[in-house]
Amino acid sequence: ISICRDLPNIEVITFSVNGISDLEPLHQCQNLTELYLRKNNITSLNELFYLKNLPRLRVLWLSENPCCGSDPHRYRMTVLRNLPSLQKLDNQAVTEEELSQALVDGEEITAPPSRRSVDNGCPRSTASSAAESTTETESELLSFTLEETNKIREELGMKPVPRDKFSSFSPRETDCNRKERNNVLNAILLLTKELDVEGLEIVQQTVGRRLQAFQKKELQEE
């Protein structure tokens, strides 16, 4: 997630199912409109402090994080009190009545978390990740990840990925290598939006040579 410090013009970010606990790198993303952080390790709603000054943020998906707690009403009211410009929270539309109620029932966040976790990416132990994965079926996880990835591709003017072609991108394993690859893929897709024609042509040529090298290697192995 630290890569976001160098992407101030990013508009859509999806980092679901990545063990993220710290939102500080997002506070400079002034053009951010959609943020997907479902099923991470965000323990405190005080992390919202880093999102309060993002003027264009309209969609936030934060469910299945420890910070959501056991009281869904208090959680939603607190998020909406601090981010009143949201139009959708956890895939549910925000109403004017909720925004008014949030001023009464929500807790205002005025400072960042005082205690921060050093783990921000792959956790040191995969035991908790493995346990969490049992609460969500593989097909549900694939559906969420596919939807979020296709939102990025749509933003970049790319065709959506068909469901039957998505298995190679799906975080079906909990090991760090698979999560790291998914992060790299998302970062590449996001960074391409920052390039001009000349930059995109360089990327195209580099990718072409890389693919040719892989194809040549496969032929040699056969």
- DSSP per residue, 62-113: --SSGGG-S-HHHHHHHHHHH-TT-SEETTEE--HHHHHHHHHHSPP--S--
CA–CA separation, 14 vs 16, rounded Å?
Answer: 6
Is 179 strand, coil or helix?
A: helix
CB 42 within 8 A of CB 87: no
CA dist list (Å): 120 to 21, 43, 131, 172: 6, 12, 19, 20
Cα gap 194→67, rounded to integer Å: 33
Domain identity same for 99 and 193: no
Bridge-partner residues for 14, per DSSP?
36
Q: How many domains does the chain have?
A: 2
Inside any domain, residue 201: yes
Note if the pTM is more than 0.85: no
- The fraction of the chain above a pLDDT of 70, given in percent, is 67
Positive/negative CA dihedral, 119, 125, 128, 132? positive
Contact 42, 66 (CB under 8 A): yes
Q: Tell me what the mean pLDDT of segment 73-88 comes to.
A: 95
Residue 97 CA to residue 28 CA, distance in Å, equals 30
- 3-23 pLDDT, tens digit per residue, is 888 888 888 888 888 889 999
End-to-end CA distance of the chain: 39
Residue 82 maps to a domain: yes
| Full domain range(s) for residue 210 | 183-219
> Would you give the distance in Å from CA 220 to the centre of its chain?
39
Q: Which of 41-55, 148-162, 179-193 has the highest mean pLDDT?
A: 41-55
- Residue 75 placed within a domain: yes
Is residue 33 situated within a structural domain? yes
4 or 192, which is more confident: 4
Single residue among 88, 105, 122 that ends a domain in this structure? 105
Gap between the Cα atoms of 201 and 196, Å rounded: 9
End of a domain among 57, 75, 105? Answer: 105
